[in-house]
Every structure is written in structure tokens, then in C-alpha cells.
Amino acid sequence: MFLIYPTLKRWLLTVLLALPLHCSLAADLVEPSVLKGLAGESNTERVESITALGQLTTPGAAAVLAALGAGNVLITSDNKVLLSVEGGKAIDPTTGETVVAPADAQALTLNNRLRSALQAALASAELFSPLRTVRLAAAQRLQKEADPSRTPVLERALAKEQDAEIKAALQIAVASAEIKSTDAALRRHAAVLLGESKNSSFKPILSAMLVQDAAGAFAEPDAEVRAAAKTAITQIEWHQTIVSWVGNIFFGISLGSVLLLAALGLAITFGLMGVINMAHGELLMIGAYATYLVQGLFKQWLPAWIDWYVVAALPVAFIVTALVGMALERTVIRWLYGRPLETLLATWGISLILMQSVRSLFGAQNVEVANPSWMSGGVTILGNLSLSYNRIVIVGFALCVVVIVWLVLNHTRLGLFVRAITQNRRMADCVGVPTGRIDMLAFGLGSGIAGLAGVALSQLSNVGPDLGRGYIVDSFMVVVLGGVGQLAGTVVAAMGLGALNKIIEPFWGAVIAKIAILLFIVLFVQKRPQGLFAPKGRSAE
């Protein structure tokens, strides 16, 4: 049985269920001459008949095509065409009458050639569907076929169409058909329209017109048509360049947002306490696994609210990772202040313990964290550039986190103490600032932000024990480049490195891009050791 397109299937069901089949055929019958070829002996006659049905705009013709696709067309011994229905009945599409299906009637079997012709006919019939989405999809599909025989039906659909977007799509479909015309004026007009469409799928058709044979003769003999084709190719290539740059910038901002979330907590802990926390990546991993657990709880107990599990995972991930961070600070890190190399070794060992603990609890394989429905899909701009909703949401989320952290650091008592300790720890201790408790809370805040980054990463990549390992080095590079303990520097460095990475990648590849960025940071720090934004206070001297 031939499977028709799902969109056409929905349209046909709408039409055929809204009216009884015999009523729709009675209103718009099919001429016997159009159906004659279906009962013919050769496949050529049948193809011609199917093509003729596709050129018609009547519900009767659409019903015959649907019956062909479902294998419900019967050929009688006297070469009449009937449409089989339930109960041993059949309908004569030329009269609309319901008759008893003859016992000797044979079902018309489709071979590959007939299926291909039926697909083309169905595409033409979809142009007159009552559903807007079906008509638009049909017009866009016919743009790629470049069949001059479709021009009359496309022009009829264009004359009947009222929707502006579908009319534009039909005009391009007409142009793609006219490009094969024998009339040079039509070919030139088609080349102009295809160039204005800025659709890269038409570039091979236009480029084929400029091909020369061994004798130097062009495939397109008319010079004006060739000039129009060259201009169209230039328009398409320029548009694709713009799309590529916009896409790279968007994905660079997206990567920068991830780096910002990953580095923000590290900027607080490293800037405040001078601790080289190699376990920071594992805190991201814990946040991602917290998201996985919340998703499981929602599936088990609140399936109707599953789309909002990410929102519930945010406070859970923050609290869990903040508690883990404060526990680490109180038990291990507090004894190693002022000894950065020892903090590096100790936190590296802690990172191995955390990874192995996760492997023991959840296994070494990645776990599945699905995007909620409101973060699935994307928006298309500039014709064919798709911006995914999950990345757009994460960019906005990163900005919200930055604003909240800025408010905490600049408008709360905790933030006042953190800034005081960052500028001059010894003087802050002398005037009564509880530096030990502030260290614990600041480390908890930085760890909690890492947990929020883990929630975001769970919506972009696989969640596994090695999730955080790929971000720890990049996070340190962001902190060093932006300036130790500088929030503004962290934001600028993260976005800048993300955008630079995605701009370099298309030219040199991902590995060379990483190396180039590392060399850039090394050279920059050689010239400006304090980073983009210099620390303030006597401790910076």
C-alpha cells in the first residue's frame, strides 16, 4: 500500500469526513476521458492519466488520487474505473453513483513509476487544499522539482491564492519551473526570481546554466540569461555569508553564556580566596545530575507538570551544590588558604572522588535529560537559519544569573563583606568582618552558581560523570582573561571567547580554534597580567 504524505492525509480526512464521498464526487465529477488511461494496458497511459488528475483542482480528482494511494481503485472487465468503499460497494467517479463492486474487478497495482507519478500529482493537488499549512508545504516542495509541465497548475494556484507567504512560495515555484523553459525571456525572469529568493537549494540549477562543454559552448546559450544567473548566484552566496555570520555569532553567544555560567562561580571563589578549585567542573556535573533526579521525580509523581521540571530543578541544584561546596570548604579548603598549588592538588583529588561517586550511584553511562516542550524546536530567521529555543532560553538565563549575582555583591551585606575581603582581607579581618564564615558562604555561592550552570548544560549536552571536565580549563581561561574577581570582566571574557571560538572554527576547525584562543590569552596576559579589568584595592598592588 502506498503511503501518502501525513499532511495530505490529514487534509483528505478533513475533506472526506466533512462530506460523504458520493456527495463530493457528485458536486465535482471526473471526466471519463481523464480516467481512461488508468484502465489502459501500458504504464505510459496510466502515468498520463495520473498527471492529468493532478492538474485538476476538483475534490473528485483529489478523491481518485487518494484512492490510488490507498490501493482502492478498481478496474472492471469493461475498462471502467471505480473507487472501492466498505461493504463491497464502489463509487463511479464519473457519475457519483454508488454501485455493487463487480466480482471480476481488479485492484490497480502501483509500480515504482506509477508511485512516482502519483507523488507528483498529489503535490499538485495539495496546492488547492483548504489547509494553509498543506498548501505552503506543497508550494515549497514544488520549488525543488523544476518541472515545466507544472507551470499551468502553479499559475492557477497562484491566481487563486490569497495568502501572501504562499503566493511568494508559488512565485518561486513558477520560476523554478520556468528556468527549464525554451523561452529565453522566461528563463531570465526565472533566474532573477530565484536570486531574489536567496535560497541556496537553487544555486546548483543556476550554476548548471554557466557550465561550458569541451568546445567552450555554455549550457545556457543566451548571454542575458547567463548574466542574470551570475547575479542570482552572487545574491545567494552573499545571503548565505550573512546567514553564516549571524549563525556563528548566535552560537558564539550561546557558547559564551555556557562559559559565563561555568566561570561565574569560579570567579567568586578564585577571586575571593585565591583557591584553584579543580573540582569546579564536578560541581557542574552535580547540578546536572540533580536536574536528572528532579526530572525522574516529576515523571513518577507529577507527570502533568513534566514541562516545568527544569524550573523546579534550579533551586534544587543550587542548594545541593552550595551545600557540597560549603562542606568542601569547611573540611578541606579552609586549611589550605595561601597555598594555591596545594589547593590545586587537593581539589583535583576531590574531583576524582566526586566523579567516582557519581559512577557508583548512577553508572558510567550518560543519563537522559530531555528538553521540556517549550524549549524544543526553534525559530527560523533569514530563510534557513534555525535558532533553537533551548539556546535562546539559556542565553536569557545566563543574563538573569549575572544580574542576580551583581545585585547580591553590590546590594547585600554578604556582598559588602565579599568585596571588602577581595580588596584587603587582612584589613577586613581587623575591622571585624567574619572572614571564615564569609569564605564558607562565598564558596557556597560560587558552588551554587556552578549547579545552575549544570542545569543549563543538561539541556544542551549529554549528562555523564565527565560532564564538567570539558569546561574547567575554559572557565579558568575566562576568569584569568577577565580579571580575577571581576564580574564585568568575566561577562566580557566569556562572551568574547565564545564568539571568537565560533568565528574561528569554520576556517580552522575546533582543535586549532582552541589552540589559537589559548595562545591569544597567553599573549594577552603577558602584556596585561591583571586581565581586562584590574582588581581594586591594596591587595591588587
Amino acid in the structure at residue 264 = L
* Torsion angle in degrees (nearest 10) through CA of 374, 288, 464, 515: 90
Q: Which grid coordinates belong to 68?
A: 490510488
Angle between helices 59-70 and 6-18 (to 10 degrees): 120
Q: For residue 82, give the amino acid letter.
A: L
Please state which of the ranges 52-56, 190-194, 290-294, 476-480 shows the lowest mean pLDDT.
52-56
**What digits encode the pLDDT tens for the residues 456-505?**
999 888 899 988 887 888 888 888 888 766 778 888 888 888 888 888 88
Nearest-angstrom CA–CA distance, 34 and 94: 10
Residue pair 109/75 in contact by the 8 Å Cβ criterion: no
Task: Kindly write down the DSSP assignment for every residue of 412-443, as one continuous string.
Answer: SHHHHHHHHHHH-HHHHHHTT--HHHHHHHHH
Within its chain, how far is the Cα of 224 from the centroid? Answer: 40
> Is the Cβ–Cβ distance between 90 and 100 less than 8 Å?
yes
Model confidence at 25, in pLDDT bands (50, 70, 90)? very low
Under a CB-based contact definition with an 8 Å cutoff, are residues 265 and 445 in contact?
A: yes
Helix, strand, coil percent content, the chain, rounded in steps of 5: 70, 5, 25
pLDDT tens, position by position, 267-308: 887 766 778 888 999 999 999 999 999 999 999 998 889 999
Q: Domain-by-domain residue ranges, the chain?
A: 6-126, 136-221, 242-540
Q: Domain 242-540: give its CATH architecture.
A: Orthogonal Bundle (1.10)
What is the rounded distance in angstroms from the CA atom of residue 302 to the CA atom of residue 296?
A: 10
Instruction: Answer yes or no: are the C-beta atoms of 197 and 165 closer than 8 Å.
Output: no
Query: Phi and psi for 418 in degrees, rounded to 5?
Result: -60, -45
Grid cell listed for 365:
553511562
Q: Is residue 541's pLDDT more than 70?
A: no
Summarised one tens digit per residue, pLDDT across range 230-244 is 998 999 899 888 888
420-467 confidence digits (pLDDT tens)? 887 777 888 888 888 888 889 989 999 999 999 999 999 888 899 988
Give the phi and the psi of residue 482 in degrees, each rounded to 5.
Answer: -75, -25
pTM for the whole structure: 0.71
pLDDT computed for residue 356 by the predictor? 92
